[in-house]
Structures are given as C-alpha cells and as structure tokens.
Chain A
Amino acid sequence: QQQVKQSPQSLIVQKGGISIINCAYENTAFDYFPWYQQFPGKGPALLIAIRPDVSEKKEGRFTISFNKSAKQFSLHIMDSQPGDSATYFCAASRSLRTGTASKLTFGTGTRLQVTL
C-alpha cells in the first residue's frame, strides 16, 4: 500500500532530447507528489511537485504529468543538458490531520545520463 514504483532504473538521453521518468503509486491517500534531484555525494534537492487536483505542472524545462485515475505521474525534462545528469527520485506523501505532511515514500530512483 505504501509503495511507489519508479522506472526506468537508468536512462541515457542525448543533449537536447526529452527525458521521461515514470512513477506509479498504490495508496490513494497520497496527495502530494514531489520530484527530487540528487547529485553524487549530495542530498536530494526538490525539483518540482504536484498535487492531484491538477493534471500537469510546468517549471522551466521540467514538467510533471499526473494521471489520478491511473495512479501514475511522470517527470519530463525538455532540452536535456549534461548538467541534468543525476539521479531522480519520485516521492509521495499524504497530509495529516494536523495539516502537516507525513513521511515521504520514495521511488527507487532513475540514474539519468545526458550525453553530448
């Protein structure tokens, strides 16, 4: 019930191409879906997040697409750059009655390599 499944495990994209990472969740109580970017030796950094009341959110080259009925969401990186090479994690959480967020349940990560 708490799982978040992420694919692919690794991805190689040419510079300028589109990187697409997919996630699926099981727990319908989840109501917050962030994506994090992690470089080797660093902590995860929040990239973009979405709530289930919208189907798409775009920030610069990063877009989240959300399909509530299918319980799936994906990250699209447009015009991928070598500097985007990192590990990307999707995650999900649910709001608690106190109004705060519960723990994040993470996907297993996607290692993206953008080649020249």
Chain B
Amino acid sequence: NAGVMQNPRHLVRRRGQEARLRCSPMKGHSHVYWYRQLPEEGLKFMVYLQKENIIDESGMPKERFSAEFPKEGPSILRIQQVVRGDSAAYFCASSPASGGRETQYFGPGTRLLVL
C-alpha cells in the first residue's frame, strides 16, 4: 500500500519561472491538502481539495499560486513567476473520504529552491 507520493522531490527554478508540484494521494483517498514549510518553521496550510473541487484555499496566496485535483491524475500545485521567497518545502497530505477522515497522511515533500 503505497503512501502519499510527491514529485519531484527537489526542484530548482530561476526567478520568474514556473514551478509545478505533483501529489498522488494514498490509494482510496480523495481528499488532498497542501502545506508549505519554511526553514525552521512549522507547516502552514495552503489549500484543501477534493476531486475536481477546491474546498478551502484560504491559505494560498491570491496571486501566482493555483491548485487543482482533476478527476484523473495527481493533484498539482502550480507557482507562476517564482520569487526567492517561494523557496520552501511543500508537503501534500491525503485523507480518506470515509472512516478516519480527520487523519492526514503526509508525503515526503518537494523542496523548491528559487535562484
């Protein structure tokens, strides 16, 4: 039973480029959450999605950031025109649709470095 998968694990971008982060939830999970972790800090919520729906995007910056979770395929977090302040670890978590719904299981993260 594979856990939450994220790719790439490391991503280097120059300022102004686009970063695209992918997350495949655990098998049977249809809820995906994205969090950002700055160095030496805790995780901050960004967005909560179900298949084809954004449930809560209250933690996501209004500009340059977008997220989707299509009917087929992984969830994508897209950062356009990256800036140095976007350098962080981005974690995806998933939870099931029923039974133990509150438990979120985290992936290994994508470490984004903006040069």
Contact = CB atoms under 8 A, between A and B. Distances in A.
Interface of A: 6, 32, 34, 36, 42-46, 49, 89, 93, 95, 99-109
Given A44-B43, A44-B91, A104 B108 contact: no
Interface of B: 4, 31, 33, 35, 41-45, 48, 56, 58-59, 91, 93, 95, 97-98, 101-109
A104 B104 contact: yes
A46 to B, nearest CB: 6
Given A89-B43, A93-B102, A104-B93, 7 more contacts: A43-B4, A44-B106, A95-B102, A100-B102, A101-B95, A104-B35, A107-B42
B33 A103 contact: yes
B48 A102 contact: yes
Given A43-B91, A43-B109, A101-B95, A106 B104 contact: no
Contacts of A89: 42-43
